[in-house]
Structure 1
Amino acid sequence: MRERLDAALAAHAWVCEHLLDVQQLVTDAFRQPAGPAAAPAQEARVLLHRLGCLSLALDRLVDDVDAVDRSTGAGEEALARLLAAPCEVRFTAATGEPVTVEAMTVQEILVAAREHVAGIRRIVEAYGRDRLTVRARRLRSSVERLRQLATEAAAEGLGDGADPLAALAVDGLLDRLAAAEAAGRGRWWRGDVRPERDDGALEAAVDRAVEQVDTARRRLRRGCHAELTGRLEAYRQRAADVGRAEHPEVERAYREAVAALRPDVFAVTDASRAVQAYQRAVNGGTP
């Protein structure tokens, strides 16, 4: 049962992370979803919507898991039945079409989610092929999201304090993009960086950089989540040691911190503040 629980939680975390990624990807690629972009934008959004439905099914499963009292034998049996049963996935459509419901195992949901994520990426790539502006927008957006996350982590004392962008060396690539874009607009580029001929190398370099930046952001996000979860459990143990674990205020603060650490809503600053609030409650309201 432990393996099934871990698999369900891991699938939930993966789908939540990648849903956020492809939502941003579609937003960046189809800022003006008209004309030539209309068809691929619609196709991508349909897949994105279905991915959201899969994510909601896992959200409900995790909610049900959290609601089970595992301190009793009956609770353990209820949890085992819950993890063994397929999830009810409700596929809706913005067009008013009837809702369809499918029974899917966690593994089937994860496989379908991976296919949808890959499909969205293929659609965006096909639309963005030979469109350097789309790729440039994706890279700048990814860099900004990583920079923002790193700033939030540092402000909350999470991570090692190192700049994750420094190791990726994307500044030179951004300069090359700026030069290529300026040349494409008929502007003469002045400076050390000269426009390069579009032979596909720049586009490929941007695609690799986007994947590296997104991977670094997911790694940092997971690290922050793990660090905050570790802090929360350490404070939970302290609460038990000092006899305050069942105090109503302490228990309420713990539930709020656990809720803030859920992968589908996890935001570094909010989760960190919730864990800090629990620490204060454990300490009797003192810093």
Structure 2
Amino acid sequence: MNNLSGRGRVAGLPAWDRCAVMGVVNVTPDSFSDGGRWFDTTVAVKHGLDLVAEGADLVDVGGESTRPGATRVDEAEELRRVIPVVRGLASEGVVVSVDTMRASVAAQSLAAGAALVNDVSGGLADPAMIPVVADAGAPFVVMHWRGFLQGGNVKGVYEDVVTEVVDELHARVEAVLAGGIAPDRIVVDPGLGFSKEAEHDLALLAHLDRLRALGHPLLVAASRKRFLGRVLAGPEGAPPPARERDAATAAVSALAAHAGAWAVRVHEVRATADAVRVARAVEEARTTGRAPGAEGERGAEGAR
């Protein structure tokens, strides 16, 4: 089975013929990447619509930063941040994902029009999460998670990071299935940057086939993360700021798309939207001998 047909689809969501692009809207003052830029509801909704215009297939709305050391916001504040943005985007026909670890936020977001719940704890942070998602029949992202990152890189020690992450994700998926979420509504995410050092993240990216072997669509969320800063800085340089890691993010998006990822989650959409389309064209050329739209066309270089 080739990567295009084998990346899977998620029941309850549109079926894309390539790796989907999930744009990020952080309705927070303290995100590691763009904290405070989209904190106002009107600005956040406009930003989400702009991401769709730039090529996002769905938009992930979150009201709580999960960066290392971040302090959790209370439930009322998270609801205040998230629900109006979810409602505003859904009313415009946007496919909305809600990024939350709270069952109450998930439930109210789904009622406001969200189509997907993206829980970085995979349902571990709130015991009510799995029943809420199961009752709603919503798709659910199960991320590899070893605990809150308050106080540093929690439990980031591995003997074989790929095997351990795959095994721990498998166990979590089994728990989610036992909780009543349908298998065709489960997405897995290796949790890049969560309790992982740069070498762990790179090893996981090098072995996405092992994660896909879990049998569920795969979400890769590498955008602007620390390991990209380490790669770009080299052995002795200072990592560039998060917003200067978008070209590296697009490179990872192309690699993930080629490896069969169902979707990539990114802050800057346009370059990644181009990257996944190029990856699809190359894969199509490999499997059919002809790239999409290439019939009867000759580029300027070929005409010379």
Whether TM exceeds 0.5 here: the answer is: no
**Higher strand proportion (structure 1 or 2):** 2
Max Rg structure: 1
Q: Under a length normalisation based on structure 1, what TM-score does the superposition of the two structures give?
A: 0.26
**Higher helix proportion (structure 1 or 2):** 1
